Amino acid sequence: MADDDDEGSFGGEFENGHWAWDEVNNELVFVSDLPPELVETVAVTVKVPTGTVEFRDDIDLIEQLRFRKRYQRKLKLGQPDIITVQDVKDLALFTAPVSLLSPMLINMLHLSTTDRFIRALILYCQYYLEIAEEMSNRILELETKVRTPYCDVLEHTYRENISDLRTLVAKEYCTMLIGGHDTKKFHHMGPQKKRRSLSDKDARLFETLLRICIQIVWLALSRRSFNQIELEVNRVFKSEIFNSVEHTLRTNYISKMSKEERGVLLGHCVRHDKKLNTRSPLINEVFCHRPIDYRMMGLGVIKYDELTPRLRYMLMAIGGPEEDLVEMGVTVGILGISRSCFDTMLHVLPTVLDSHKKSKSSFSSASSSAPGFSKSATASVKSTGSMKGSPSSKTVDKLYVYNNIILPEKDEVEPEFPQSFPDESAQVRPCSETQRKRWQTRLHRLLHPPKNKRKSII
C-alpha cells in the first residue's frame, strides 16, 4: 500500500522518468530519463537570387583583349564575319557572375533547341518594344484625334502578330519542359522520366537560364530598354502573380496601360485563375482558342513542303542561317550584321555612328557604307530604362543597328489539317562544340583555381 501511495504521489518514480520540483519557476516538472532524440537536419540547397544578379558591362581593355584571344568565336575559312547568336551568348557568359554559372547551364545553352528559343525570344521582345511604343504614341494622339474603325483593324493585326511570336517562344519552351529532342538529359526526372523528381534542381536551372537569356536579348537588341525586357519576360514566363521583378520594382506598368494597350500587348489569351491553377501566358498561348496555324508548332523541327510567306519569315528568324538574315529582310536584333561594325563588347563603333548621323537620308539606304544599319522608330529615347544601370535622365539619340520587324500578313483562309503529318526532320543548325568546351574549361578554372599560380584565370 505504501508503494502504491508513493507511486501515485508527485514525488514517485515512473518508467521513463520522474516528477521533480523546480525551485526557480516554483512548479512541478517531469524529468525524463531517456536520452534526447537526434534531430535530423535536412540540407537545403541555396538558390541563386537571380533577380538581383548583375552582369558586368564595364569591361576594361585588358579583359577585352583576353576575351578576344581566348573566348571569342574564331572564324573558319569561308565563314562570313557577322554577328551570330553564339557571339551574343559568348559575351553574356563572359560577363556573367560565377554564382550564376554551372556546367549544366553551359551545356544547355549550346543546344539547337535553346538557340531557337533564344532567337524566338529576341524576335518577340523586339516586336513587343516596337508595338509598345507605337501604342503609346497612338494613345497620346487620341487626345487630339478621333478614333476610327481602322484603328480596331490595325490593333487587331498588332495583337495577332504579338500572339504568334509569343507562340514561337512557347513551343520551344514546352520542348524544354517535357524534355523533348536534345533536352532529354536535362529533364528533372532523367532522360527516361523514371527517376525521382528533382524540382529544386529544375527550378534553379530554369531560373538561371531565364536570367542569362534576358541578358542575351538585351545585348542582341543593342542594350535597349533592359527594365522593360526584364518585366515582360518574367511576366510571360511566370504570370503577373509570380512576377518577382515587378514585385521588386513596383512599376505597376500593367495597371497604367490603357484598355487598348492591354488588349494589344497582353492579348486575349490571358486567364486570371486562382494561384494554384495559374498557368503562365506562354502556356495559355498554346492552349488558347484562337486560329493558329498548326505548322507554327513545328517550325525548325519538321520539314514542311509548302509554307506561307509569314511562316517562311518566322522559320528564317528562329532557325535560318544568320548570314542570310539581312539579305532576306528578316530582322532578329543585331544578328546577321557585319561584326566589323561593333567593338569587342558589341557596342556600335562611334565612327560608324558619326558617318550615319551626317547623312540626312534614311538609314536603310546607307547599307553600302555599313550593311544592315537602319534607324528604329525610336530616334530619341531616355537613357533611363533603355541603358541598363544608367542613372542619367537626359534625352540622348540612340541608333539601333537593325530594321523594324515587318511581318507578312496572315492568310485569310485557315489551313486544313492533313491526313498525315510530315515525318521528315528539318535541317538543324548545330551549336559550336568548341565554344562549349571553352566555357566549361573556364568555369572549371574559376571554381578550382590553381594554388601555386599567380596568373589571372579570368
Give me the pLDDT at residue 452, please.
64
Give me the pLDDT at residue 372, please.
41
The parts of the chain modelled with pLDDT lower than 70 are: 1-16, 36-51, 352-399, 452-458
CA-to-CA dists, residue 132 to 6, 258, 265, 375, 406, angstroms:
85, 11, 7, 17, 15
Give a yes or no: residue 457 inside a domain: no
Whether residues 195 and 247 share a domain: the answer is yes
How many domains is the chain partitioned into structurally? 2
Whether residues 136 and 27 share a domain: the answer is no
Whether residues 178 and 233 share a domain: the answer is yes
Give me the pLDDT at residue 418, please.
79
Q: What are the percentages of helix, strand and coil residues in the chain, rounded to 5?
A: 50, 5, 45
Give a yes or no: residue 91 inside a domain: yes
Instruction: Specify whether the backbone of 193 is left (phi greater than 0), alpha (psi in -120 to 50) or beta.
Output: left
Give me the pLDDT at residue 110, please.
95
Alpha carbon 43 to its chain centroid, in Å, reads 30
139, three cell numbers: 494613345
Give a yes or no: residue 205 inside a domain: yes
Q: Kind and range of the H or E element at 208?
A: helix 199-220
Whether residues 150 and 28 share a domain: the answer is no
Whether residues 11 and 126 share a domain: the answer is no
Whether residues 110 and 17 share a domain: the answer is no
Give me the pLDDT at residue 454, please.
52
In terms of Cβ atoms closer than 10 Å to its own Cβ (0-12, 13-18, 19+), residue 398 is: buried
Q: Kind and range of the H or E element at 138?
A: helix 112-141
265, three cell numbers: 500587348
Q: Report how far residue 221's alpha carbon sits from residue 226's, in angstroms, rounded to the nearest whole number.
A: 9
Whether residues 15 and 96 share a domain: the answer is no
Whether residues 28 and 107 share a domain: the answer is no
Give me the pLDDT at residue 6, please.
46
Give a yes or no: residue 39 inside a domain: no
Q: Report how far residue 330's alpha carbon sits from residue 424's, in angstroms, rounded to the nearest whole number.
A: 25
Whether residues 28 and 114 share a domain: the answer is no
Helix/strand number for the chain, H first, E second: 16, 4
- Domain holding 82, by residue range, is 50-447
Give a yes or no: residue 410 inside a domain: yes
Give a yes or no: residue 283 inside a domain: yes
Give me the pLDDT at residue 373, please.
39
Whether residues 28 and 170 share a domain: the answer is no
Give a yes or no: residue 454 inside a domain: no
Q: Phi and psi dihedrals of 265, rounded to 5?
A: -75, -35
Q: Kind and range of the H or E element at 223?
A: none
Give a yes or no: residue 456 inside a domain: no
Whether residues 259 and 116 share a domain: the answer is yes
pTM: 0.81
Whether residues 15 and 81 share a domain: the answer is no
